[in-house]
Amino acid sequence: TVPLIIDTDTAQDDCVALITALLDPVADLRAITMVAGNVGFDRQVRNAYLTLNVTGRLGEIPIHLGCRRPMVREWESAENVHGDGAGGLDMDVSGLAPEAEHAVDALVRLAAESPGELSVVAIGPLTNIAMAVVKDPGFARNVKTLYVMGGSNNGRGNITAAAEFNFYVDPEAAKTVFAAGFDVTVIPWDPLTLRQAVFGQERLDAIAALGTPLSDFFIRVCAATLEFDRSVGIDGTTHPDSLTSAVLFHPELVRRAARYHVDVETGGELTRGYSAMSWGVHGLTANATVVEEIDAEGFYSYLKGLLAVETKPN
């Protein structure tokens, strides 16, 4: 099994990534840590609880609340893409209490309790992860492996021409993380999400036809992004976050990966959050593995298989 923490700004595909970690028998999800990103912070927490509920695992996994804004900048959301992040679903969480321990403290503590064993899947802005590095210089060493959804491999951005959302929102955090010495694997927006892990209408129809609580939930939470993606010429839903957890659990889904030196632009006027991925000709030492090609059909089959599981939501 893979013991892990998911650090998330829970909306849309973050929910799907949580589903993989909650239902894949390979995964041993120890905690969910929340970071400011996609939609309002409290809304993200409710989206995480909704996901725990639909998987039938409400009350089993601790949720730790983390940084409510980036390290040095104001928070910017992606509500224009995600709406509320859960397709209008909501739940009363008044009887549910997140942990008192801050997400950054939980990350530091859990990694220190079992050095070299815990994986971290970071699928939001990297604020909590960077703050854990600031707090504990041993954090990067204690984490077995860090899987990051973010950046583009010298390709297209999604929030600006140059930048992917997670790195754009907190570029100082992303820069800190790549300088910290993690064993880090990057799942970039372009080309993986934008060109390879898109679910078109046929796949979505096949998922809808499963008729399980999870497939209904999936179709609902993906509806807003589907509409947005279509409006910008992407012919289906995009799955950056669940792809990130999936390749950690099932490395055979990776067809090609390479070592790069990754750094993140914090100063540029047009390029804030741009991920400079240097592939070796620039004299820089590699600090990250970047996934370049995946088994897209295998990834789709994997998710569809999980969404077919009959769960018992409350």
Q: Does 164 bind ligand BDR (CB under 6 A)?
A: yes
DSSP string, 222-244: HHHHHHHHHHTT--SEE-HHHHH
Binding mask 112-151 for ligand BDR (x = CB under 6 A): -----------xx------------------------x--
The residue among 166 and 245 lying less far from ligand BDR, judged by its C-beta, is 166
Residue 119 and residue 4 in contact, taking contact as beta carbons nearer than 8 Å: yes
Q: Does 165 bind ligand BDR (CB under 6 A)?
A: yes
Binding mask 239-278 for ligand BDR (x = CB under 6 A): -xx-------------------------------------
Q: Does 14 bind ligand BDR (CB under 6 A)?
A: yes
Helix 13-23 × helix 41-54 angle, to 10°: 40
Alpha carbon distance 120, 184 (integer Å): 10
In Å, what is the CA distance from 197 to each residue of 86, 105, 168? 20, 34, 21
3-state secondary structure of 63: strand
Q: Does 123 bind Ca ion (CB under 5 A)?
A: yes
> Which residues on adjacent β-strands are paired with residue 84?
none
In Å, what is the CA distance from 160 to each residue of 51, 91, 213, 245, 274? 29, 33, 35, 25, 9
| Per rule CB under 6 A, count of chain residues that contact ligand BDR | 15
Restricting to residues 12-51, name those near Ca ion by CB under 5 A. Answer: 14
- Region from 93-101, 140-148, 162-170, 304-312 binding ligand BDR, contact rule CB under 6 A: 162-170
Q: Does 49 bind ligand BDR (CB under 6 A)?
A: no
Restricting to residues 224-243, name those near ligand BDR by CB under 6 A. Answer: 240-241
In Å, what is the CA distance from 221 to each residue of 31, 175, 209, 210? 22, 31, 16, 16
**Which residue ranges make up the site for ligand BDR (CB under 6 A)?**
13-14, 38, 78, 81, 123-124, 149, 158, 164-166, 189, 240-241
